[in-house]
Structure 1
Amino acid sequence: MALSAGPKKRVSDEPLPFCGNGSHSDQFSQWCERFIKVQNGFGKGEPFRVRDWQKSLIASVLDTDPAPRLCCWLLARANGKTSLLAALSVYKLFTSDVGGAVVCCARTKDQAQLLFRTARDYVETSPELLARCQVGRERLYVPGNRTSFECLVSEPQSLEGLNFSFCAVDEIGVTPRETLDVLQLAQGKRPQGESVLLAVGTPPHTPDGSVLIDWRNLARDTGDEFVVYREYSADGFDDHDLLCEHCIRLANPAYGDFLAMDVFERDARTAKPMAYRRSRLGQFVFGGESPLVGASVWDGLASDKAIPDGADVVVAFDGSTTTDHTAILVGTVEPVPHFDTVAVFDPKDTGGRVDVFAVEAAIRRACQRWNVREIIADPWMWTRTLQLLAAEGITVHEFPQRKERLTKATTDLHTALTNGGLTHTGDLLLRAHVLAADVVESEGGVKLSKVSRSRNAPKIDLAACLVMGYSRTSWLASQKPKKRRVITSR
């Protein structure tokens, strides 16, 4: 958007009264302390003092010759990402060569405006900057070097034709790939060193399609050759307590400075654990927004006892054909049922499709080993198999995925898990499937869900078996045996 219509405010084209020394990052620090004031929070109204850790981030962009094309910083929330990015954008606005173009973008235009408004506030609260800059609602312009700073819409088609010297992207973890693609492809219009794209953010909630994850992996493979990547994170310590001070300090360089401990104590109690780990600790953990059960609770239900041959059981079967696993689970028919994995079939092991005959053979072996009261299964795509087993005299109970039934069964299972209403053998694959399962609301009901639709997302098929298996084992165990009527002769 252009500046408002009509005559523009006359501003000075005199250069700023500033002569920095040292490296470019040194000069940036000196420039900020001279011209920029903190807008809110700790130190409001005081000169913007660049911390050592902030300076090291700035150095990754400014002290390289030539300047890198792509840069990415990962920082936990409330560490001043947006404020630092806005300060760098304003610095570029006033110090660029003639004809520079500074732009900011994010997942949405509203998000980008947060960064732009911070930058505009820096200009408007500095008499020396304001005297040399024309200020619009979504555009700043410095006549002295004919350089502009604009807030852009985020739709890829609206970004075509850009020719920026510096682009700031806020919240890259959730910015669409299509937006980043357009911004990257625009860089070819300026030589290397004259067009920099800097993105900052926190880990995304899903690994699917995340540019931040792709850039992070690329930097790990190639160093700074293609992407300059810097990270403050406690990733790899996902098993540590939410309030582990070691993890908090790793991910939060502002901790103890302008970031207080009370926010961690509050959020650890009120936020969902996985969201807290991503936002506060910079950990790449996915799913778990509403987990079926936590690891500590699940592990506490483990028992090393086996299910004895001949025991009354229910066999739960969750079938797939191509992408997901096909899983078979067994559970004892008793007030507190005990579960174990029978078999899991990965279609990748058999050329991309599940071996139906092997699945049927595994179910038959289970029926020979235990007294199978019934098989419980969703008939979708496996109707023939279920009809065949029923024709062999095996009791088959169908469990179609209707929301009413799924909601009750999922809720009952969750209650049992949290109240010690079942046990399991500690099978590691069963553990992985159960801990990967989220509970989501869909069309007025609840059901299990994977963390993403990616083919590489953790599988939850044994967890789906557990929903069906617990529903039937608990129901069968609750049925009183029919009383035999004895007739005596007179």
Structure 2
Amino acid sequence: MPVSRGPKAKVSVEPLPWRPRGSESERFVQFCRKFLIVPNGHGAGKPLVIREWQRELVASVLDDPVPRVAGWLIARGNGKSSLAAALAVYKLFTSDMGGSIVCCARNQSQAQILFRIARSFVETSPELLARCQVGRELLYVPRNRTDFECLVSEPESLAGRNYSFCIVDELGVTPRETVDVLMTAQGKRPESTLLGIGTPPPDGVDSVMVEWRELAGETGEELITWREFTADGFDHHDLFCEHCIRLASPAYGDFLAMDVLRRDAKLVGPVRFRRDRLCQFVSGNENPFISQDIWDSLSTGEGIPDGADVVVALDGSHSRDCTALLIGTVSSEPHFDTLQVWAKPPDSPGWRVPVLEVEDAIRTARHRWNVRELTADPFRWNRTLQILASEGMTVSEFPWSPSRITQATTDLYSAAANGRMSHSGEKTLTNHVMAATVIDSPDGGLRISKVAPSRRNAPKVDLCSCLVMAHSRATWLASRPKKRKRGFSF
């Protein structure tokens, strides 16, 4: 296979000067020690020494029986890219005639990371460099007509590949379509291995890694060979628990930089730290709409006094999800509190939102406060709004159009960040706000969303949706001049 246009460098077709012994994984260890030099970092400039835990990982894909599909779950900072690059270079020089080594990553820059490490291994080894043609994006060994290249994880670019060994970097976030294409490409050779490496995926991602892990747990190694270093199941332990770090990071106390771990534990956020550094499959909001610190600073611990001018916001579910009522004072700096929430009880498939109870709760609020306005998205709740309006309540419709909801969401965030609002600190309201994130909607605006909307048990955000509407209407009403009563004389 050509490396690039123009004349190719003449390289030797002589065999490598070594006499390997033992199993394939033991030969890999000997290959690394004899031919590969650590390019940078811990042990830079010295022969690459494979630790026992690394050899055991490699044995899962090299030693008999060689699997078709394998997966490694290992925390960041444990040299997985260097190990994968070393494994790719080993297969490049030792494969049977006509081998094809492929590494896939989610983007070009990620793919280049592993390729640059592999190319550095070759270029710093006189024996390997003398037998390999080196290109910008391809390594080729004429002796066994085997090539190695890194590709972006796009199904179109991978279709028709006839690989002998394929490494999928960051399997947790690799599109399912990509993995499907790579798996269906197998079968053209007596042996071909697909190896996926990575850490747990973000919440809500339809991840092949989760599927492989569950399948390996159910079937053993019948379909997938699986190896993992993880502290999953110990989510209740402290963030910087040494026991958990040792479980997820076999390089702990060796070449893993402990100061980086301590820094990340404080700066990257607890959810991401648990996923990336402890390999725990945890759920959480990595990018909350309003941060916990800001939200806590706005709490007064007090409700809304009887008789106050208020706005009531309704976020209603059609049937089985959750319906919420929020109350807020009419003010340029409004105060908010939960009025009532109806949520589906566990194991209640036939449950429906009690619409009559929702309507009665709004009527009860009219007797306790001076309800200036009820606001809601009329979708599927138009009848309720019409009934309450016929009873004399002022009702405003709040359709979630892109322009309107983007402005309302931005205004609410600005008010929270600048301390121009407050809340009671009620637990359910706090939970809903902390579970909310902001996304770009398909129609071009910003809107509040759940972190993982596809999950059935995704945390609720209905009160946060109410907060967006209530803040918008409460501040607008506060900006309107009050109607002056006209006096009459006779």
Report the TM-score range of the alignment, normalised by the length of the smaller protein. Answer: 0.7 to 0.9
Partner residue in 1 for 2:19: 19
| Aligned-partner Cα distance in 1 for 2:444–2:97 | 58
Determine the structure 1 residue equivalent to 2:71: 72
- Aligned equivalent of 2:321: 325
Q: Which amino acid aligns with 1:29?
A: V
Runs (5+) with no aligned partner, structure 2: none
Contact kept in structure 1, 2:104 and 2:168, CA below 8 Å: yes
CA deviation after TM superposition for structure 1 residue 307, in Å: 9.2
Give the aligned residue type for 2:14.
E
CA distance 1:313–1:424, shift in 2 (3 Å): farther
Q: Give the Cα–Cα distance (whole angstroms) in 1 for the partners of residues 317 and 192 of structure 2.
A: 49
Following superposition, the deviation at residue 136 of structure 1 comes to 2.5
Match of 2:225 in 1: 228
Residue 202 of structure 2 corresponds to 205
Alignment of 1:18-417 (within 5 A): 18-63=18-63, 65-191=64-190, 194-286=191-283, 288-292=285-289, 315-321=312-318, 325-331=321-327, 337-344=336-343, 358-368=354-364, 371=368, 373=371, 374-401=373-400, 402=404, 403-413=406-416
One-letter amino acid matched to 2:364: Q
Q: What amino acid sits opposite 1:77 in the alignment?
A: R
Opposite residue 38 of structure 1, the aligned amino acid is: V
CA contact (8 A) 1:436 1:450 kept: yes
The aligned counterpart of 1:421 is 422
For the Cα contact (< 8 Å) 2:173–2:205, is it kept in 1?
A: no
Other structure's SS at 1:255 match: coil
Distance 1:234-1:314 versus aligned 2 partners, 3 A rule:
farther
Deviates further, 219-228 or 41-50 = 219-228
State the alpha-carbon separation in 2 of the partners of residues 228 and 422 from structure 1. Answer: 52
Deviations 1:372-427 (A, max 9, x none): 524332234433331221112233344444122222124435666xx993224434
Deviations 1:278-335 (A, max 9, x none): 333333345523214567887999999999999987543112437x834123447597
Counterpart CA distance in 1 for 2:46 and 2:427 is 58
Question: Does the aligned pair in 2 maintain the 1:412–1:471 contact within 8 Å?
Answer: no
The Cα of 1:48 is off from its aligned counterpart by 0.5
Residues 452-461 or 82-91, more deviating: 452-461
CA RMSD of aligned residues (A): 3.9
Amino acid corresponding to residue 115 of structure 1 in structure 2:
L
Change (3 A) 1:384 1:411: farther
The one-letter code sitting in structure 1 at the alignment partner of 2:100 is A
Counterpart contact for 2:301–2:424, Cα < 8 Å = no
Aligned-pair distance for 1:89?
0.7
C-alpha distance in 1 between matches for 2:414 and 2:238? 27
Where structure 1 has 5 or more consecutive residues not aligned to the other structure, the ranges are none
1:93-121 Cα offsets, whole Å, 9 max, x none, are: 12222232211111123322221221121
Whether contact under 8 Å (1:234, 1:282) holds in the other structure is yes
CA contact (8 A) 1:410 1:446 kept: no
Equivalenced residues, count: 477
| Cα distance change on mapping 1:213 and 1:135 into 2, 3 Å | same
8 Å CA contact 1:333–1:476 kept in 2: the answer is: no
Q: Report the Cα offset of residue 49 of structure 1.
A: 0.7
Aligned residues of 1:294 and 1:435 also touching (Cα < 8 A): yes
What is the match of residue 448 of structure 1? Answer: 448
Task: Give the SS at the match of 1:149.
Answer: strand
Q: 1:459: which partner in 2?
A: 460
Structure 1: how far apart are the matches of 2:95 and 2:399?
64
Amino acid corresponding to residue 227 of structure 1 in structure 2: I
What's the secondary structure of 2:255's corresponding residue?
coil
Provide closer, same or farther for how the CA distance between residues 135 and 410 of structure 1 changes in structure 2, counting only shifts above 3 A: closer
C-alpha contact 1:207 1:213 (8 A) present in aligned 2: no
Aligned-partner residue type, residue 281 of structure 1: L
Which is further off, 273-282 or 389-398?
Answer: 273-282
In structure 1, distance between residues paired with 2:316 and 2:206: 28
SS in 2 for 1:152: strand
TM-score by length of 2: 0.82
The one-letter amino acid paired with 1:226 is: L
The superposition leaves residues 343-365 of structure 1 with CA deviations (integer Å, 9 ceiling, x where unpaired) of 2359x96779x66xx32442224
Q: What secondary structure, in the 3-state scheme, does the structure 2 residue paired with 1:188 have?
A: coil
**Deviation digits for residues 44-75 of structure 1, max 9, x if unmatched?**
11111111221221122123x32111111122
Helix, strand or coil at the partner of 2:71: strand
Deviating more after overlay: 470-479 vs 52-61:
470-479
CA distance in 2, matches of 1:59, 1:300: 53
Q: Which amino acid aligns with 1:327?
A: T
Q: Is the 8 A contact 1:313 1:330 kept in 2?
A: no
CA, structure 1 residues 270+32, in 2 after alignment: closer, same or farther (shift >3 Å)? same
Measured in 1, the distance between the counterparts of 2:396 and 2:336 equals 18
Q: Deviations over 1:3-48 (max 9, x none)?
A: 1345543333332232333333222112211111101111111111
Q: What amino acid is the match of 1:341?
A: Q
Deviations 1:106-161 (A, max 9, x none): 11233222212211211111111122222222222223333222233533122222
Secondary structure in structure 2 of the residue aligned to 1:110: helix
2-structure distance, mates of 1:43, 1:118: 15
Task: Give the superposition deviation at 1:468.
Answer: 3.6
CA displacement at 1:177 relative to structure 2: 1.6
Equivalent position amino acid for 2:177 in 1? E
Distance of 1:257 and 1:420 partners within structure 2 = 50
